[in-house]
Every structure is written in structure tokens, then in C-alpha cells.
């Protein structure tokens, strides 16, 4: 897969998510990350979901879990449909392709158990206390 270089907005999303991981917080709502980054929660093609999806593609290439699973809808406490589309596009856990709840649980477990997030911080040229 050919990756586009990450934008400043996508790197900012990574910074927010990595800071959450460093303090043991594994979910953040779309609204919260939008507020912390200044990226609109809803703006087709330029919203938080698009930015975190692109960031997750880079995680995949680095051999890391898909970090965008952490960004959840306030009403359901589960990620949006775009995450599941990304999993299917990347062929991540194809055995759960039609079971969104199971896919969410497996991917969330991978994120919370991963001890290699410092690699993403290094890739993004960020220093995150507790990771690097």
C-alpha cells in the first residue's frame, strides 16, 4: 500500500491519542479529539475520522494496532463505521468482518496491550512522556 505523508492535523491526532495511551486512557470521543486538535468532528473528507483513518494506515505499515479504534462515538462508546471499513480494506481480522462488536473488542485489546507505541511517537517525531 502506498501511503501519503501525514499532515500536521494527522500528526496532531497521533499526539493526542499517544498522550491518552501514555496515561492509560484507551478511548476518546470524536468530539473530544476534535476539541483538542481543532479538526471538525464532521466535515466530509476532512473530519477527525478521515485523519485518524490515515494515521491508522501508517500504524498498520509499522506493524502496530490500528490506533483509530480508540476514537468512539459518545452515544455508543464504540468507534464509527469508517473504522470497520478500514479493517476490511486492510484485511485486519477478516474473521470478524461482519461482527462489528467483536472486531472493536479485538482491536481495542490490541491497542491496550501494545507496548510498542514509542515506535509511533518516534515515527511522528514526537516526544510523549511515558512512551519514549
pLDDT in tens, 25-67: 999 999 999 999 988 777 666 689 999 999 999 999 999 999 9
**Whole-angstrom distance, CA of residue 34 vs CA of residue 113:** 25
Q: Indicate the pTM of the whole model.
A: 0.93
68-64-82 Cα angle (round to 5): 25
Q: Is residue 44 part of a domain?
A: yes
Q: Is residue 3 part of a domain?
A: no
Q: How far does Cα 73 stand from its chain's mean position? A: 13
Q: Is residue 66 part of a domain?
A: yes
Q: Is residue 13 part of a domain?
A: yes
Q: Is residue 130 part of a domain?
A: no
Widest Cα–Cα separation across the chain = 38
- Domain count for the chain, please give it: 1
Q: Is residue 73 part of a domain?
A: yes
pLDDT in tens, 82-128: 999 999 999 999 998 888 899 999 999 999 999 999 999 999 999 99
Q: Give me the domain span that covers residue 99.
A: 8-123
Q: What is the pLDDT of residue 2?
A: 80
Amino acid at each position: 500500500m502506498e501511503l501519503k505523508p501525514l499532515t500536521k492535523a494527522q500528526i496532531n491526532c497521533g499526539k493526542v491519542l499517544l498522550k491518552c495511551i501514555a496515561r492509560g486512557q484507551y478511548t476518546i470521543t470524536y468530539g473530544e479529539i476534535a476539541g483538542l486538535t481543532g479538526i471538525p468532528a464532521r466535515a466530509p473528507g476532512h473530519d477527525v475520522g478521515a485523519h485518524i483513518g490515515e494515521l491508522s494506515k501508517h500504524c498498520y505499515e509499522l506493524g502496530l494496532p490500528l490506533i483509530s479504534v480508540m476514537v468512539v462515538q459518545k452515544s455508543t462508546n464504540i468507534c464509527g463505521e469508517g473504522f470497520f471499513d478500514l479493517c476490511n480494506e486492510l484485511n485486519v481480522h477478516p474473521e470478524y468482518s461482519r461482527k462489528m462488536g467483536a472486531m472493536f473488542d479485538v482491536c481495542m485489546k490490541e491497542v491496550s496491550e501494545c507496548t510498542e507505541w514509542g515506535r509511533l511517537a518516534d515515527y511522528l517525531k514526537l516526544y510523549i512522556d511515558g512512551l519514549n
